[in-house]
Structure 1
């Protein structure tokens, strides 16, 4: 599932703000500086488009092979599924398809959930999900479980558009995952997943951005 604005990229993308190349990788624009924040957001939009176009240019077979390697690394990282609830996502616009991994996790005694967008600028809700469950169309036509009581996952796997060495995640721009993590009563284990070539020097993290615990790509664990 992709969390945030989910707009299809256009043929081109905006040039980065003129001073972005001068900033250090650890830079975070002060929220009180509207111009700096606007420049970071404009840079992120351009970078987001570039990275989505890049991954969509990769063949479906190659993406499937990389997703299989990501799943292998997840097994090594997560360990025993029994008694644990995992929130995954429904793959969107070339994201790694980990539904096979989810089915194995469930078969081995784990529980599953999918995140659901309830409204704009609000935290996600996690709903119980099982393989072969009949789903309905949610926001952006992404399949979601039928309305049911919310559940709390022990592990959250979040797709990334891009990521940096500090495990900050570049998503789709709506901030759903950041709001969700901030609102949970207890923080789960949060794993970002994406392709290795989505690595960037920095996302220029802001005060509201929340880092993943680590990132997993087809090359292994980062962070």
Structure 2
């Protein structure tokens, strides 16, 4: 299986030689974290190499697949996102959700290691630069989404999402007062055999790609 990756999925060979006991859980997590960092870079580099036309075509196919997956959005609050680093651009799809009677919210990082806050957004609302320079609503009510669209860097067959490493979505999903339907969104080429899920990882309810 290791031949499927750009770097070895296990770094046990780099641990202290001569150890005759199994590594502690923190050692195993260190291996997984190092693998994820390398895989994240590989996937992001490939994503950023896509040309504008390819991204536009992929975004349209993802939008159509989201419509089929979600169904009617009237009266429902959907957390979308403002794209960065080559993520599928779903801003036009988000506007169509509003035109069909739905509501859009955008995730906002309040501070490091805190859950995200979802703020209601409509076209024309003021935006400001948040973490990673992503545009977020400058103000507006905090809302609880019925559907959460989570952009991903990678994903696996068990619907686990590889994100950017901050843990914001996992932390948020674990603390939502009301369960939302969570959809990971990304490119089909971002699929890996496994992300080596850990206890803190939360699987998506569905993964939607351009395939």
Where structure 2 has 5 or more consecutive residues not aligned to the other structure, the ranges are 1-5, 13-21
Where structure 1 has 5 or more consecutive residues not aligned to the other structure, the ranges are 1-13, 21-29
Quote the RMSD (CA, aligned, Å): 1.9
Return the TM-score normalized by structure 2.
Answer: 0.89
Residue 17 of structure 1: how far off its partner (Å): 5.5
The answer on whether the counterparts of 2:73 and 2:97 sit within 8 Å (CA) in structure 1 is yes
Q: Does 1:140 align with 2:158?
A: no
Greater radius of gyration (CA): 2
Q: Which moved more, 1:201-210 or 1:145-154?
A: 145-154
Q: Which moved more, 1:78-87 or 1:145-154?
A: 145-154
Return the TM-score normalized by structure 1.
Answer: 0.85
Q: How many residues matched?
A: 198
2:144 pairs, out of 141, 152, 155, with 152
1:153-194 deviations in Å (ceiling 9; x for gaps): 000000010000000000000100000000101210000000
Q: 1:39–1:218: structure 2 CA closer, same or farther, 3 Å change rule?
A: same
1:162 corresponds to which residue? 154
Question: How does 1:87-102 map onto structure 2 within 5 Å?
Answer: 87-102=79-94
1:32-77 deviations in Å (ceiling 9; x for gaps): 6111110000000000000000011110110110010000011111
Question: How does 1:116-195 map onto structure 2 within 5 Å?
Answer: 116-195=108-187
Runs of 4+ in 1 over 6 A off after TM superposition: none
1:107 pairs, out of 90, 99, 102, with 99
- In 2, the alpha carbon distance for the partners of 1:17 and 1:85 equals 38
RCO higher in structure (CA 8 A, sep ≥6):
1
- In 1, the alpha carbon distance for the partners of 2:200 and 2:75 equals 32
